[in-house]
Chains A and B, each alone.
Chain A
Amino acid sequence: MTKHFLEIDNLARRFPAKQGELTVFEHASFGIDKGKFVCIIGHSGCGKSTIMNVLAGLDTPTEGHVFMDGREVSGPSLDRGVVFQNYSLLPWLTALQNVTFGVQARWPNWSKEQVREHSYKYLDMVGLGGGAELRKPAQLSGGMRQRVSIARAFAIEPKLLLLDEPFGALDALTRGTIQEELLKICDATNQTVFMITHDVDEAILLADRILLMTNGPHARIAESVKVDIDHPRDRSSIIHDPGYYPIRNHLVDFLVRRSKELSGAVAPETDAQAAGAHPKIVNPAADATAGNTSAEHSAA
C-alpha cells in the first residue's frame, strides 16, 4: 500500500480532556513523494504542530500510521530533521555549538575540523557569521535564533525536512533570501520537505502541493491544492505566472471563509474521508486557464 515516500494513513490525535477527549485532528491521510515540497496551511491552534510532532516521531498518534520509505515511523530519527516552532536551541551552547551538536550526532566519525567546516557552510547559508555564531542564543535576536535552528536542521542533511513556521520571526528581506536558498537546495538535492506556514505567498513560492486544514477541534485536511507553476521559481517572477492569482485566491478564500464552514466533527461530505481516503485534489491554476472563475489576473 505504500506507494509514496511518506505515507500518512488515517491519522488522528486525541488528548484526554476534562470531559471526555479533545480530538485535535482526525482522518488525516496524505502522501508525499520523494523530492516534493508540501506545505500545510490552517488557522492557529488547528493542530499543525501536533501533526508535525507525529511525523517527527516525537508523539504517537491515537489512531493511524506514518510510513517513511516503506517503514513505519515509531520514533525520532536523524532521517527527519526538525525545525521547531520555538527554535528549541540549547541555551548553554553557542550558535555554532548548537549546529555542531547536530552534525556530530549525524556523523560521529568526522574530525573536529570537518564538523566545523560543514557547520559553517550552513551558518553562512542562513547569513550567520562574523562573530554572531559565537554568541549564546539569549544574546541573539529572535530571527537569528530561528536561523540557527534552520542551519542545525539543514546541516544534518535529512531525508525529510519538517519545518514548523521556520521563517515566522524573520524580516521580509532575510525571509526572501532564505526562501530562495531553500528553493535552490531543494531543486539541487531533491530534498523532501513538509512545512507549516501561515504565509500564503510563501506557500505558493515554495510548495508543490498545499494541504488545507479546517479549524479545530476535529480538524481535517480538507483539500490538497496543486501548485502548477514550473520550477525554477523566484519571488519576483512568480507573481506574473498565470496560475499565481487563481491559487492565491483559492487559498485566501479557504482561510477566510471555508476553513470555518468545513470545521467540526464528521460532516456529511467527509464520509469518504472518514474511510481513509486522501483529500480532494484541486488545481486552481488549471481551472483558471480552462476559463473558470477568477481569471482576471491570468492575463498578466
Chain B
Amino acid sequence: MASEATAEKFRALTPSEFFYRNRELAGFSNPARALYQAVRELVENALDATDPHGIHPTIKVILQKVSAERDNIFSISVEDNGIGIPSAQVPRAFGQLLYSSKYVLRQTRGMFGLGAKMAVLYGQMTTGKSVEVLTSTITAKNIYYFNIAIDVKTNTPIIHEKGVYRKNNGWHGTVVKLYLEGDWTRSKSKIYEYLKRTAIIAPYAEIVFEDPDGTITYFERSTRKMPPPPREVKPHPKGVDIEMMKMMLKATKAKTLLEFLIKEFQSIGEVTARRLIKNAGLLPDMKPHELSTEDVERLVRVIKSDTKIKPPSANHLSYVGEEIIKVGLKAILKPEFVTAVTRKPSVYEGHAFIVEAGLAYGGEIQPEDRPVLYRYANKIPLLYDEGADVARKVVDRIDWSHYGVTFPAPLVILVHICSTKVPYKGVGKESVADVPEVEHEMELAIREVARRLKRYLSKKKREREEAERAVAIAKYIPDVARGLAKIVNNVKEEMIEKELLKMLNMKLKSFKINSVSDVVVSIE
C-alpha cells in the first residue's frame, strides 16, 4: 500500500496541455486580463500581416456582448487587410500551439507561435466555442472559411467547418472571430490604452474599434510613411550557443566547415572563418556533421572570445523612425512640443538592437507627478509590469529638474526597442529585462530627447520673458504718446506711437508687435 501511494506516475505533456494548465504565463490569468490579452494578440497578428509587407494597415476590432443575459461572454472580431494565410496553414496556425511563420530571424511582433492559440484555447475553455477564420492571400482566387478547435490532449486542430468562396473583388486579409469569458469593466481602460498606444507607434495604420457599449473609436491614419520592412537575417556568430550551433551544423547544406561559417552566419568572411577554425584547432575542410561535441564547444568558445568579428548588422531591423514617432505622438496626444531620436544600432549577446525614444510635452497632456512612460518592443505597446521594466528604471534615475522640468508636469516619454530578439522578461511580452547594453542605449536616447526638451523650454522661457517685457512697455505707449502730444506743439500722437512701437520692435528677437492695439485693448 505504502509503496503504491508514494509511487510517482510519469507522462509527457503536449504544449497545449502545458499552456492550458499554465495559461497565466501567456497573460491569460483572469477574465479581465484575458480579454485585453486576446485583443492584443489578434491586433498584433493583424499588424504583422500588414506593415512588414508594405501594406498600410486597416484594422477593425469589434468587441461585443454575446447575449443580454450573460454579461461576461464576449465575441472578439479582428479584421485586417494583410497578406492573408494560405488555406493549408490555417488549421495549424489557429489550432496547434507552437506553430508559427515567425520562427525565423526577422523582427516581427509575434515570435512564440502562441498568441492566437492562447486566445482560442481560453475561449474554448470558458465558452466551449471554437474560432472562426475568414482569410484570403493576395494571389488567392478564393476566400476560405474555417471553424477550428484545438484538441488539447494532442495539440492538433479540429476542423469543425470549412468553406471556400469565390473571390470577386481584390480583397485580401484575415478576419478572426472568437468567443470568450471576459470582464469588460475591468479591462476597458487597458484595452483603450493599448489601442491608443498602438496608434501612436503606428500612425500609418487606421484602426476602428467598436466596444461592447457600442462606442466607436476611430484612430485615423495620420501619415503614409511607413518604417522600413524588417528582413530575415542569418544569425550572428556571437548570438549562437552550443546547442544552436549543433542544430545549424546538422541542417546545413554546406560541404565544409569553412563554407558553413561563411554561408550560415552574418559578419563572417573567409579571413575570419579561417582564423576561427585555426584558433579552435579545427580544419577548414572538415565536414560540418563530423564535428564532435568537444569540437563544437571549442568553436563556440573561440567565437565568444574573438574580439575581431564585426558586430551584427542592423539593416534588417525595422525601427519606427524619428518622423513617424513624432507624427504618432502629435496626432494622439496633441502636445505642445514633440521630439524623437533613433539611436544607432547596438548589440547585446550577439543580437543587434535599436533603441528609439520620443518625448511629448505640454498641450493636451495632463500633468502627472512623474514622467508617463510609453514602452514599446518591436512596435508592441507594453502595458503591464512597468515597474519591472528597464526603461522605467532609466526614466526614474534621471533628474528631470536638470532638464528644466518640475513635477507635476505634462511629460510623456516613449521608449522603443527593436530587435530580432527582444530580451523580454516572460512570454507575456510585458517587460524588458535589465540588459546593460540596452539600459545604456535607453539612457542615451532618453537623455537626448530630454536635452532637446530643455532647449525648447529655455527658448520658450526666453520668448515668454521677452513677450512679457514687450507687453510691459507696449501697454504704456498710448499714454506716453498722448501725454507728449499734449505737451509738445505740432506733433501727432499717432506719429509718436508709431515711432515708439518701431523702436520696441527693433529690440524684440522672437516676435514683433504689429500694432499697439494688439496689446492695448482700451484705456478708460
Answer whether A and B are interacting partners.
no
